[in-house]
């Protein structure tokens, strides 16, 4: 699927689910990493992560587009377009737009660091490095030790 096909799909979904035309651009953005798509407030364009299409197919793409179109129409109407707003939650439910997309990689596969508590031996996986002098175990308050190199 290319950007033209994505634009046509977005326009079709807008008419089918929202009964309104989509008058801006929808395109793939391969730099998106942790999100399925995003609505741009300034330009009113919709960006979609192409990895979602490759991993999960057109059905996932339709769900992402419906979610982003909820942001789009609510923002244009001057209503609450953020995830926490009642207007957004109502519209999402009406059109069957999911709150989140399916992650491409699990958290465990993305984690680069593993920490273990010295007291209770609880393990914590983290994507980013943690300052072990400031952070403590969430279960017992014990000291954390980086055991990343020992596990991987």
pLDDT tens for each residue of 67-112: 999 999 999 999 999 999 999 999 999 999 988 777 777 777 778 9
In a domain, 30, yes or no: yes
Q: Is 71 annotated as a binding residue?
A: yes
Whether residue 39 is found in the same domain as residue 86: yes
Residue 126 lies in a domain: yes
Q: Tell me, what CATH number does 66's domain have?
A: 3.30.2010.10
- Within a domain: 100: no
Q: How many domains does the chain have?
A: 2
**Angstrom distances, CA of residue 24 to CA of 21, 34, 39, 40, 43:** 9, 24, 11, 11, 8
Spatial CB neighbours of 89, under 8 Å, sequence gap ≥ 6: none
142 occurs within a structural domain: yes
Helices (runs of H) and strands (runs of E) counted in the chain: 6, 6
83 is in an annotated binding site: no
Q: What is the pLDDT of residue 20?
A: 95
Domain that holds residue 21: 3-95
pLDDT of 107 reads 73
Q: Do both 13 and 76 map to the same domain?
A: yes
> 11 catalytic, yes or no?
no
Residues 9 and 55 in one domain: yes
Q: Which residue has the tokens 């089918």?
A: 16
Residue 113: what pLDDT?
93
Question: Which residue among 16, 47, 58, 68 is the active-site one?
Answer: 68
40 versus 100: the higher-pLDDT residue is 40
Q: Whole-prediction pTM value? A: 0.73
């Amino acid at each position: 699927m290319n950007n033209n096909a994505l634009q046509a799909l977005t326009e079709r979904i807008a008419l089918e689910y929202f009964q309104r035309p989509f008058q801006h651009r929808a395109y793939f953005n391969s730099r998106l990493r942790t999100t399925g798509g995003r609505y741009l407030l300034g330009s009113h364009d919709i960006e979609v992560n192409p990895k979602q299409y490759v991993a999960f197919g057109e059905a996932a793409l339709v769900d992402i587009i419906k979610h982003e179109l909820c942001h789009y129409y609510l923002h244009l109407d001057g209503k609450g377009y953020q995830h926490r707003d009642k207007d957004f939650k109502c519209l999402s439910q009406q059109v069957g737009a999911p709150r989140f997309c399916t992650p491409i990689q699990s958290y465990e596969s993305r984690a680069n660091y593993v920490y273990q508590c010295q007291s209770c031996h609880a393990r914590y996986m983290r994507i980013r490095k943690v300052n072990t002098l400031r952070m403590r175990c969430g279960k017992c308050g014990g000291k954390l030790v980086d055991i990343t190199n020992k596990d991987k």
